[in-house]
Amino acid sequence: MTTSPASDRPDGPTRDEKMRTLVDLVADARIAMLTTVAADGRLMSRPMGLQEVEFDGDLWFFVDDASHKAAELAANPQVNVSFANPKGTSWTSITGTAEVVHDRAKAEQFWNPLLRAWFPDELDTPGLALIKVHADSAEYWDGPGSRLTQLVGIVRAAVTRDESKLIDTQNEEVSLPS
């Protein structure tokens, strides 16, 4: 797989086009890996279900405010949220700051019955809160076709020792509003 370097080339996509692609990639993935910084400086990642698909620069996740991740965010709000498309052809990395939010109306807006597995008393579960990630920047890699198409390209490039046989993947950076 080759990547087109992230840049604002005159012939490349506009910021609005990059943002639309980013929104689509986030919506398609739905499950993220949220990376926080532990007290000892280690990076800690865990899967989180995205609550709002209409990505506007903020990401929302449910959390127990007594959890390690909530404590890590209170000490150091810097986070990374990464997504992998379930088809395996695109990846997204979003950086920003996060905070734990206690907002009943927002929780009601995002609630869905599957969350009962973690919050058995639903919206009345003690400690129920939200994580709000304020995104600063993002980078994405978007590859054409299926995993099989990409695998064929990799095999072809390996056998022929010709990197030009790899499937080209679009790689772009997006600055997000603060």
Residue 165 is predicted with a pLDDT of 46
Which residue type, as a one-letter code, is found at position 92?
T
What does the mean pLDDT of the chain come to? 81
Residue 104 is predicted with a pLDDT of 96
Residue 22 and residue 174: Cα distance in Å, rounded?
A: 8
Task: Check pLDDT > 70 for residue 156.
Answer: no
Task: Check pLDDT > 80 for residue 98.
Answer: yes
Q: What band does 159 get if pLDDT is binned at 50, 70 and 90?
A: low
Tell me the average pLDDT across 127-151: 78
Which range in 13-22, 54-63, 129-138, 160-169 is most confidently predicted, on average pLDDT? 129-138
HSE (side-chain half, CA atoms, 13 Å) at 7: 7
For residue 84, the SS3 value is strand
Query: Which pair of structure tokens corresponds to residue 94?
Result: 């979003």
Q: What band does 88 get if pLDDT is binned at 50, 70 and 90?
A: low
Least confident of 9-13, 68-72, 133-137: 9-13
Task: Check pLDDT > 50 for residue 166.
Answer: no
Kindly state the DSSP code that residue 11 receives in the 8-state scheme: T
How far from 173 is each of 44, 53, 142, 156, CA to CA, in Å?
Answer: 24, 20, 12, 29
Q: Is the dihedral of CA 48, 52, 53, 55 positive or negative?
A: negative
Run of H or E including 76 = none
Residue 1 is predicted with a pLDDT of 39
Task: Check pLDDT > 80 for residue 177.
Answer: no
Q: What is the pTM of this model?
A: 0.77
How far from 45 is each of 14, 25, 57, 69, CA to CA, in Å?
Answer: 31, 20, 20, 9
Task: Check pLDDT > 80 for residue 10.
Answer: no
Q: What is the pLDDT of residues 44-60, one digit of tens each?
A: 999 999 887 667 789 99
Which range in 11-20, 38-47, 134-143, 160-169 is most confidently predicted, on average pLDDT? 38-47
